[in-house]
Amino acid sequence: MTARLLRQPFGRPLRRVDLPHQVLAKKYALPVFASDALSSVAYATEEILKVLALAGVAYFSDSLWIAGIITLMLVVLLLSYRQTIFAYPNGGGAYIVARDNLGEGIAQVAGCALLIDYVLTVSVSIASGVANLASGVHQFLPSVPDWNAPARTGISLFVLFLMWYVNKRGVKESGRAFAVPTYFFLASTFLMLGVGFFKYTFGGLHSVDPSTVGDLVKADRSLGLFLLLRAFASGSTAVTGVEAISNGITAFKEPKSRNAATTMAWMCGLLGVMFLGITKLALATHAQASTSETVISQLGRTVFSAGSPFYVCVIFSTAAVLVMAANTSFADFPRLAALHAGDGFLPRWLTDRDNRLVYGVGITVLSLCSGLLIAVFHADVDLLIPLYAIGVFLSFTISQTGMVVRWRKVAKLQPGEEQPSYSPEGVLVTTLRHDPRWWLKLGINGFGAVMTAVVTVVFGFAKFTEGAWIVVLLVPTLVFVFFRIHYHYRSVHEQLVPDEALLSSYLTTPARKLMLLAINDFNLHTLPALRDLLQSGGPYTTRQAVHVDVNEHAAAELERRWREERLEERGVPLVILPSAFGGGDVVGDLVSYVRGILAADADVRVEVIIPEWSASGIWWRWLFARGLHHLTGTRLKLAFLSQSRVTVTNHRYVLADRPRARSAA
């Protein structure tokens, strides 16, 4: 069992046919695609309050209209993305929409922004989940000391490790696995809101006692426009994740686009109600902005009571849905990275599925980046939030702008006219059809584009010094790297793909070759190579054995053997090269010899045959054996690594595992 775990830590290898092709009914699609968006309510209200708290508790009431504006923005996004869902029934992520309408460059920016945001989704969701757990534990076990930053960081990294492992094994994206925690979260949250507003209306709703929530956020700054914009920017993290459905339309049951649109409407409805509800309830209960207890925990223990099982449900379901939200990035990030890689903007191996049929490298890269963020920012949601959402809003803007371009193309079509559009791989991406109401749709997407562009700028401006600068610098840097990678692939491709004339000349014109055996003495590792050379040959092949004279005795012995076995008569003459130095530079001597041949004859190709013995066995024994020899073979191979017109043939003789000499000594 342990042995199997060590050998196959991620489970038995799977075959390609095991790749699931699953479609989801709406009730399962909702939890799969919505957990990211819905879970945002766990921190969005709190982050608004924390900014307002810098001016004073008196300004908390402003949170309500800020939340209102964000909810209006959510409606605009819903309307905009409905149109994308119908226009791109095979998946309409920002990358694809941008590539189809705005070109490769903008598509790279959109994809890059999304990749960054997926990393942040993991970090923020895990950190927030752990913060909620910490609040819950503190209520039930007040004697246990508060989880400090190192403890939270450690627990967050452990959760991240578990998620990495589970995803490397490969999760069947079964709707059921997502359904339980998501619906559990919806149920407990709506129960809390219901009971809360009932008590608020009919009396009995207590207030949160500031002395019980630990460290409060305090400052005495004046509430200027800048602070309001910061509060708005923090709150707008609530809408992160709403784009998820547009990426995954193909996972829906037919009619795919209609079902996806309906699910998105449901998602946005639930999200808006919960966000506004939680914000209002936070005001009603005088919830505090605290760095040690989350707002959700304060609401839960005020609406119910600290010891109530309902409170436990609220805390655990929130933590669970946040982990689910983080997990959606483990599907989205590797898939988007593979899309980039397939287009040649990221390393090709990101498109490989490993033997558990997942994009294992992408999963590991995501985990490492998220882990780095968690470690650097001590799993502190407040520190991570300024980096978050700017990427999402940038991709919203690009996606809507792409749609605007698309409607302008539609406007030019005649009734009945159709115009399909394909991806670089030849997959149908979208079909342009005449639409008399193109101006309305263009208007909706245009309004969405302008609105999200404004939010992006506001966000970058208001949060710049708090961390948004990292993302603002990272996006262009990464896009530059993406294009360097792309240039490289193009350059290699251009240099390697032959034209047909060259191709046929290659396969019909013979080429001259010199086979050159580097030989030290007559040994069991040189003999097979020599025998092979004796058997080789052909009309365009010359053969030679070369020996560097570092020891006169050895050279003479080799010449004697050569005569004795009549090897020259069999087609392989022996060349003795004088050694330049005290025997330390056999490799240099051979390399200059080969270079000389190549320089003298511009058409010949040299095949350098290197006989080598190799020790088997465990690594330190191998290393020990390597350390004791001149490694002429290895050094020769390295020397010819970038030498044109040289082929290196490596004959190996494998020694016994265990040296016999102990007994011989």
Alpha helices in 377-431 (DSSP H): 381-384, 390-411
**At its nearest, how many Å lie between its own copies and the CB of residue 103?**
13
Q: Given the complex with its own copies, which of 437 and 531 has the nearer CB atom?
A: 531
Coil/strand/helix, residue 258 = helix
Strand partners, 575: 546
**At its nearest, how many Å lie between its own copies and the CB of residue 648?**
5
**Whole-angstrom Cα distance, residue 122 to residue 327?**
7
**At its nearest, how many Å lie between its own copies and the CB of residue 43?**
37
State the DSSP code for 304.
S
Amino acid at the residue 429: V
Q: Given the complex with its own copies, which of 348 and 412 has the nearer CB atom?
A: 348
**At its nearest, how many Å lie between its own copies and the CB of residue 92?**
25
Report whether 436 contacts 416 (CB < 8 A). no
**At its nearest, how many Å lie between its own copies and the CB of residue 533?**
11
**At its nearest, how many Å lie between its own copies and the CB of residue 637?**
8
**At its nearest, how many Å lie between its own copies and the CB of residue 455?**
32
Q: Given the complex with its own copies, which of 90 and 632 has the nearer CB atom?
A: 632
CB neighbour list of residue 415: distance below 8 Å, 6 or more residues apart? 434, 436
Provide long-range contacts, Cβ within 8 A and 24+ apart, for 294-298.
Answer: 294/42, 294/43, 294/46, 294/128, 294/131, 294/132, 294/135, 295/45, 295/46, 295/49, 296/42, 296/46, 296/132, 296/135, 297/132, 297/135, 297/136, 297/139, 298/208, 298/213
**At its nearest, how many Å lie between its own copies and the CB of residue 559?**
16
Q: Given the complex with its own copies, which of 15 and 416 has the nearer CB atom?
A: 15
**Whole-angstrom Cα distance, residue 197 to residue 391?**
35
Q: Given the complex with its own copies, which of 15 and 203 has the nearer CB atom?
A: 15
Q: Given the complex with its own copies, which of 9 and 583 has the nearer CB atom?
A: 583
Q: Given the complex with its own copies, which of 419 and 592 has the nearer CB atom?
A: 592
CB neighbour list of residue 58: distance below 8 Å, 6 or more residues apart? none
**At its nearest, how many Å lie between its own copies and the CB of residue 342?**
12
Q: Given the complex with its own copies, which of 16 and 211 has the nearer CB atom?
A: 16
**At its nearest, how many Å lie between its own copies and the CB of residue 526?**
9
- Computed on alpha carbons and rounded to an integer, the radius of gyration of the chain in Å comes to 34
Tell me the pairing of strands 428-433 and 418-422: antiparallel
- Name the nearest CA neighbour of 124 among 396, 463, 456, 369: 369
Q: Given the complex with its own copies, which of 7 and 15 has the nearer CB atom?
A: 15
Per-residue tokens: 477: 């840097």
Q: Given the complex with its own copies, which of 305 and 505 has the nearer CB atom?
A: 505
End-to-end CA distance of the chain: 42
CA angle 26-264-108, nearest 5°? 115
